[in-house]
């Protein structure tokens, strides 16, 4: 099997699975229980927070464990909007966000919030000036993803963070789900108030995640109940999942430097050889994140190519996994100004630290053969 759909999900690291199993077996008590066994679980949960905070260079009380990217994004966006609507109902995002952000903003529009959607250039990158110019006296939130999940475009979130710091009445949220372990991002003193991380994108387990919430940032909770997670996320904590997520985070941090370099080299191999394939258009910009390569093959349905490759045990994707079963064109490529033939025929190849050059070579040969065969059928 050659797995090149790592932006959808990654294979769990064996050490992550081991940490989950050990925590599940030894610390199954509810951390909220007042007996000694529950106290041991609570101590382990606090230790996991401290370790996560150390790895992210933030404070333990700024770590909120979640079920992943979708919940983290919704908690950040809706939590800010509902908590701070008394001082303004204007919120800002871009036209190329993940569906969990885009749909959250559309939901808030139904509740009477005024949303400004900032356009992007042909590479899928937003203008810092456009963001700055959109800020009003009643703006309470800016939400911009760090790395685009389809194209790999890197947004200038550091520069946006500096602008956000000049406006103390607004909060800045970054969806860092695709950036973690691929494009480093500093949180401390960055102007970023909220940041979403997902476990299953970094060889952790599905159903695990972190929302960084800067100290003294108030959120209206999505879940009400037992006031876990400082009242921001009620519900019995997923202790084993949180422990395993911290393990995944530590392993990624240890491998990040060499892993990024390795993926960048493979991406350049992909770019060089894909550019020579007849009928293939490369959509991913040169300065993109190292793990994503997006291409279009106008005239051919992407799902047909995906299934042809899948028959050979080679797995790639089209669009985001959250919207890949929808047959329409990529809204991301459309937002970049590309025509329907290009936006409706996009394919995404996404790498991990463990992807090999031999796998890339086999994939490229199989892709070339599949394209030629499918074109011959249509002629």
pLDDT at residue number 379: 67
Pull the structure tokens for residue 326.
């929808």
Q: Which of 219, 217, 232 is nearest to 65 (CA)?
A: 232
Query: Hey, what's the torsion of the CAs at 216, 221, 222, 227, to 10 degrees?
Result: 120
pTM: 0.96
Phi and psi based region of residue 235 (left: phi greater than 0; alpha: psi -120 to 50; beta: remaining): left
Do 156 and 19 share a structural domain?
yes
User: Token pair for residue 109?
Assistant: 């529009």
State how far the Cα of 257 lies from the Cα of 344, in Å rounded to an integer: 35
One domain for residues 33 and 153: yes
Active site residue 322: yes
Q: Do 219 and 265 have their domain in common?
A: no
Q: Per residue in 180-193, is it b (16+ CB within 10 Å) or e — as a string?
A: bbbbebebeebbbb
Of the three residues 225, 251, 277, the one that is the final residue of a domain is 251
The number of distinct structural domains making up the chain is 2
Give CA 309 to chain center in angstroms. Answer: 25
User: Domain residues for 366?
Assistant: 2-8+256-378
Please say which residue of 251, 279, 295 terminates a domain.
251
CATH number of the domain encompassing residue 162: 3.40.640.10
How far is the C-alpha of 142 from the C-alpha of 90, rounded, in Å?
9
pLDDT at residue 325 in the model: 46
344 token code pair = 């409706």
Last residue within a domain, chosen from 229, 251, 273: 251
Output phi, psi for 23, to 5 deg.
-65, -35
> Are residues 105 and 65 both part of a single domain?
yes
CA distance 68 to 197: 7
Residue 337: CATH number of its domain: 3.90.1150.10
Tokens of 27: 């610390």
Tell me whether residue 75 is exposed, middle or buried, using C-beta atoms within 10 angstroms of its C-beta: 0 to 12, 13 to 18, 19 or more.
buried
* Catalytic residue selected from 90, 322, 362, 368: 322
**Residue 13 carries which DSSP code?**
P
What is the full per-residue pLDDT of the chain (379 aa) written as tens digits? Answer: 999 999 999 999 999 999 999 999 999 999 999 999 999 999 999 999 999 999 999 999 999 999 999 999 999 999 999 999 999 999 999 999 999 999 999 999 999 999 999 999 999 999 999 999 999 999 999 999 999 999 999 999 999 999 999 999 999 999 999 999 999 999 999 999 999 999 999 999 999 999 999 999 999 999 999 999 999 999 999 999 999 999 999 999 999 999 999 999 999 999 999 999 999 999 999 999 999 999 999 999 999 999 999 999 999 998 755 544 455 689 999 999 999 999 999 999 999 999 999 999 999 999 999 999 988 887 6
Residues 287 and 323 placed together within one structural domain of the fold: yes
Question: Alpha carbon of 308 to those of 148, 311, 336, 366, 376: distances in Å?
Answer: 26, 5, 28, 9, 14
Query: What is the spatial distance between Cα 142 and Cα 184, in angstroms, rounded to a whole number?
Result: 20
């Amino acid at each position: 099997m050659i797995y090149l759909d790592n932006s959808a999900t990654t294979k769990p690291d064996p050490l992550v699975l081991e940490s989950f199993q050990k925590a599940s077996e030894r610390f199954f008590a509810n951390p909220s229980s007042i007996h000694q066994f529950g106290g041991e679980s609570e101590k382990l949960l606090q230790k996991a927070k401290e370790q996560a905070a150390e790895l992210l260079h933030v404070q333990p009380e700024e770590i909120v464990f979640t079920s992943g990217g979708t919940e983290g994004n919704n908690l950040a966006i809706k939590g800010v909007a509902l908590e701070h609507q008394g001082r303004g109902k204007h919120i800002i995002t871009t036209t190329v966000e993940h569906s969990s952000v885009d749909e959250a903003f559309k939901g808030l529009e139904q509740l009477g919030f005024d949303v400004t959607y900032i356009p992007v250039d042909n590479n899928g990158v937003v203008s810092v000036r456009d963001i700055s110019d959109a800020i009003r006296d009643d703006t309470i939130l800016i939400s911009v993803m760090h790395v685009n999940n389809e194209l790999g475009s890197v947004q200038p979130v550091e520069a946006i963070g500096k602008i956000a710091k000049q406006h103390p009445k607004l909060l800045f949220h970054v969806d860092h789900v695709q950036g973690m372990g691929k494009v480093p991002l500093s949180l401390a003193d960055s102007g970023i108030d909220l940041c979403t991380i997902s476990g299953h994108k970094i060889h952790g387990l599905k159903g695990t995640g972190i929302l960084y919430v800067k100290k003294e940032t108030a959120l209206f909770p999505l879940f009400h109940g037992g006031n876990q997670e400082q009242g921001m996320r009620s519900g019995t904590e997923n202790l084993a999942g949180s422990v395993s997520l911290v393990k995944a985070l530590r392993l990624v941090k240890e491998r990040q430097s060499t892993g990024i370099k390795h993926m960048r080299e493979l991406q350049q191999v992909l770019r060089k050889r894909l550019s020579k394939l007849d009928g293939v258009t490369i959509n991913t910009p040169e300065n993109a994140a190292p793990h994503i390569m997006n291409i279009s093959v106008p005239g051919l349905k992407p799902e047909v190519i995906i299934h042809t490759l899948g028959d050979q045990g080679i797995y790639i994707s089209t669009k985001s996994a959250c919207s890949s079963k929808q047959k329409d064109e990529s809204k991301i490529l459309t937002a970049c100004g590309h025509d329907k033939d290009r936006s409706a025929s996009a394919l995404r190849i996404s790498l991990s630290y463990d992807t090999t050059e031999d796998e890339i070579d086999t994939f490229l040969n199989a892709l070339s053969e599949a394209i030629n065969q499918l074109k011959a059928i249509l002629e």
